[in-house]
Structure 1
Amino acid sequence: MAEENYLSTPDLSPLEQDVLDEYERLANNMKQVNTPREAHESTYPPPPPPRRPATRDKRVPLASRISLASNPTTDILDGLRDLERQTSMAFTLLKASVYSIVLQQEIDWGAGEAAQGPASSVMGSDSDD
């Protein structure tokens, strides 16, 4: 009962009211699914009608949604192809950056070993005498 008072608050925007209406319908549907058929017929009243039909007019009609879902437009496919090219380019640049860092570290370590090499040989020759 408190939920009904909360759901009918005039302070809610039409979008908030629609969301609450959808949650209420979803809750009723979940109750119907979770109860046996004979208990459902005697216990639960039919779901209430939509509270704000005027805001529902802004939605895309079902026929349009079905046609959009069944026939992807070329704009969507072109956008996905472009996104795929961009992600592959970003991956290639990432691999090149990692390779560059690894190569630079090998060069730095090689230069460090080369600098230590003659010093260690001199020390080694001193210790032999």
Structure 2
Amino acid sequence: MDTSIESRPHATANGEGELSPLEQEVLDEYAKLAGNLDNLSTILAELAANPSVEILDALRGLERKTTTVFTLLKASVYSIVLQQEIFGDEQGENDGTPRR
């Protein structure tokens, strides 16, 4: 696709003549954008098909960190639940209510 800006006559939708210079420039910029998006699509398809070693290593590191955070979060939630149960049991003994 030719992405250079050049004056090309284009008919309008109602067929009344040529586009104004501003309309032509806008269409040319859209043509450049379409070309750039095609190039980006090609590059992304290559990366998806053949991920680089650096990306894979970074993802492995991220996975380890995420797993560590998840484990710590589960332990914290378990600790809070356990503390609430202990506190509830102590309150029950002090109130004279039977424990479960």
For normalisation by structure 2, the TM-score amounts to 0.54
The offset of 1:69, in angstroms, is 3.5
* Distance in 1 of aligned mates of 2:76 and 2:61: 23
* Distance in 2 of aligned mates of 1:69 and 1:116: 64
Residue 87 of structure 1 is matched in structure 2 by 66
Do structure 1's residue 109 and structure 2's residue 84 form an aligned pair? no
* Distance in 1 of aligned mates of 2:55 and 2:81: 39
Runs of at least 4 residues off by over 6 Å: none
| Residues 17-28 of structure 1: pairs in structure 2 closer than 5 A | none
* Distance in 1 of aligned mates of 2:45 and 2:70: 36
Give the percent of matched residue pairs that are identical in Structure 1 and Structure 2: 43
Q: CA RMSD in A?
A: 3.7
* Distance in 1 of aligned mates of 2:63 and 2:55: 12
Residue 6 of structure 2 is matched in structure 1 by none
SS in 1 for 2:63: helix
Do structure 1's residue 51 and structure 2's residue 12 form an aligned pair? no
Structure with the largest fraction of helix: 1
**Structure 1 residues 48-101: Cα deviation after superposition (integer angstroms, max 9, x where no partner):** xx72466757x5695x55543332111110111011111111110110111011
Q: Size of the alignment, in residue pairs?
A: 76
Q: Which runs of 5+ in 2 are unaligned?
A: 1-12, 14-18
User: Which gives a bigger RCO, structure 1 or 2 (Cα 8 Å, sep 6+)?
Assistant: 1
